[in-house]
Amino acid sequence: MTNLLISGGHPLTGRCQVPGDKSISHRAVMFAAIANGVSNVRGFLDGGDCFATIEVMRGLGVKVEERSSTELVIYGQGFDGLQEPSDFLNCGNSGTTVRLMTGLLAGQKFTSFITGTPQIRRRPMARIVKPLRQMGANIVGRQDGNYCPLGVGGGGLRGFDYVLPVPAPKSRVVFC
């Protein structure tokens, strides 16, 4: 066995920038859109899924300025300030956008229609549709709302206890 001893040297210094996180980028756009006032988002992930979320929010009347591919300025409308879209909200190939936006739209007082690419239209949505319906959302779609496009009529949601249908023991989520 050979021993190797390393000593001396100088500390490593410098800066490094990590790429944005997809999950956080989606949520940052959505939260900023329903906040009151202007939000600056830095470190946004420059990717198609995240830009699909921006386009959906624009379809709901939210102004989003792209200062660069990773910096945004979002002019929040407040939760009740989103506008009924005049067209389908296209989530592209982003399953995260479809699922998160369906929940957000379920709380609005208007009807909207959400869709995506052929691949997205083949992905099951029952796991989000079922609890949203139990909360009072009116959701229609192909095969009883299991596939996009989905029509989402929201407003008047109520909280409840929901047991997740997963193998984890006693998984429970409380929706308030």
Contacts (Cβ under 8 Å, ≥6 apart) of 162: 131, 134, 172, 173, 174, 175
How far apart CA 69 and CA 102 sit, in angstroms, is 26
Tens of pLDDT along the chain (176 residues) come to 688 776 777 776 777 677 789 999 999 999 999 999 999 999 999 999 999 999 999 999 999 999 999 999 999 999 999 999 999 999 999 999 999 999 999 999 999 999 999 999 999 999 999 999 999 999 999 999 999 999 999 778 999 888 877 665 555 556 65
Token code pair at residue 68: 């660069």
- The neighbour count for residue 65, using CB atoms within 10 Å, is 11
How far apart CA 88 and CA 64 sit, in angstroms, is 19
Closest CA to 43 of 20, 22, 25: 20
- The neighbour count for residue 36, using CB atoms within 10 Å, is 10
pLDDT reported for residue 65: 98
pLDDT reported for residue 173: 59
Tell me the β-bridge partners of 66: 72
pLDDT reported for residue 164: 77
pLDDT reported for residue 128: 94
Report, in angstroms and rounded to the nearest whole number, the Rg of the chain calculated over CA atoms: 21
Model's pTM, two decimal places? 0.84
pLDDT reported for residue 166: 67
CATH code for the part of the protein at 22-158 = 3.65.10.10
